[in-house]
Amino acid sequence: MQIVVIRPGDSLYQIARAYGVSVADIVQANQIPNPNQLVVGQSIVIPIVGSYHWVRPGESLYSISRQYGVPLSELIRINQIRNPSQIQVGLRLYIPPKTRLAKDVGAYIDPRITGANSTQVVDEVAQHLTYLPIFSYAVDAQGNLTPVDDQGPLQAAARHQVAPLLVLTNFAEGTFKTEIATTILNDEALQDKVLDEAIRIMDEKGYKGLDFDFEYLGAANREPYVRFIRKAAARMREKGYFISVALAPKLSAGQIGTLYEGHDYQALGEIVDFIFFMTYEWGWSGGPPMAVSPINQVRKVMDYAISVVPKDKIMMGMPLYGYDWTLPYVRGGKFARAISPQQAIEIAARYHARIEYDPIAQAPHFNYYDEQGRQHEVWFEDARSVQAKFDLVKELGIRGFFYWVLGYDFPQNWLLIEDNFRVNKRV
């Protein structure tokens, strides 16, 4: 695959000719909502094997071979270059595809978001998934589990050899409740009740693992949470089930804040099979406009995680959504609207916005004015930001990556998975 960023005056016809593919192939691969109204700054993926490079002034075959990690002799052979010391500016060189690495890939699904389309959503992307954590069976203060409509996603997962994970949370009334977690984590009988019921459901419905997403625990629950996960891990291994936890994005062991203090990376990493590190929501619906998952911040979290958790247990988080903020941002004011990358492109086209790309955050963004004259700021994900995160996964040598959340996804993401990785199947 090759990523192309639309420039002023570009057309799909010109791009298709340059890469030797059809306009229809490009439109279908990217599900382009605006084929006759491309947005400047919009990124698209060209469905070819390998990629092309046009020689720029000052470049040599040697520098190009190093840039793409292709041996110089291979570059010369494939492109049938007779005089390697004299290559013309503008010459099109074919770059062969790199070896694809095997990785685990997960994606959370929340049936409250996908609704009646849950089964179809999973069917469409399941070939690219190792795990499907289903959000969520919420635990209440009495140790009961509030069920979720999981029948459709479970059936789809089974069809595609995807391991469904039952997600346990302390989620109630639209938020994570510290008090629920405190009650459960300090009562052995309630813990046993929760695990007994979770195992019953897993056995009955065909789940392959248990994922704990207990958030906002606070410092007082740090050790009790580790003990609970240790108990749960013993129960899961008796049954041959996976066990995982989802953890907040920390930069150090002593990071302050209710969200962070209850999550002990090192202790939990010694117990579970793998960890979903939630490396997103720097830009969030109630906060000021910024990239949801800026790669400079993601790298800092991963650097800390790798220092205390084995690499083969680390799953790096990626968002499949963006936010549309109404300006000016006022703390405690109107929350930003969650949008898919496809919706972001449609909004940019509708309001004739130009998409910019932040080189530090490695994320696209734009501004526009709506019909009421209100200014908006939009940050989202595109092919470039996804590829940057894939490059980080490969550089770090971790187990894999995962997404929050299905239902906002976009086609370039799945094409780029195919181009970069071989997806492990664990069932």
- Burial environment of residue 27 by CB neighbours within 10 A (0 to 12, 13 to 18, 19 or more): middle
Q: Is 289 within 8 Å of 283 (Cβ atoms)?
A: yes
Closest C-alpha among 245, 248, 276 to residue 262: 248
* Tokens representing residue 300 in the block: 């800092």
Cis check for the bond before 136: say yes or no (omega within 30 of 0): yes
Candidates 215, 261, 377, 381; catalytic one:
215
Take residue 218 and report the two structure tokens written for it: 């606070």
Cα within 13 Å of Cα(232), Cβ side:
31
Q: First-to-last CA distance in the chain?
A: 29
Q: Is 59 a catalytic residue?
A: no
CB 237 within 8 A of CB 270: no
Strands 101-107 and 400-404: parallel
DSSP symbol at 221: G
Residues in the chain: 427
Buried b (16+ CB within 10 A) or exposed e, 347-360: bbbebebebebbee
SS3 for 107-129, per residue?
ECECHHHHHHHHHHHHHHHHHHC
What are the tokens at 390? 């894939």
Nearest to 255 by CA among 296, 214, 292, 222: 222
- Residues 2, 326: Cα–Cα separation, whole Å: 34
Residues ≥6 apart with Cβ < 8 Å to 385? 293, 295, 362, 363, 364
Place of tokens 């790096």: 316
Rg (CA), the chain: 23
In the chain, what are the helix, strand and coil shares in percent, each to the nearest 5? 40, 25, 40
Which of 165, 280, 178, 191 lies closest to 222, judged by CA?
A: 178
Judge whether 154 and 206 are in contact, CB under 8 Å.
Answer: yes
Which active-site residues does the annotation give? 215
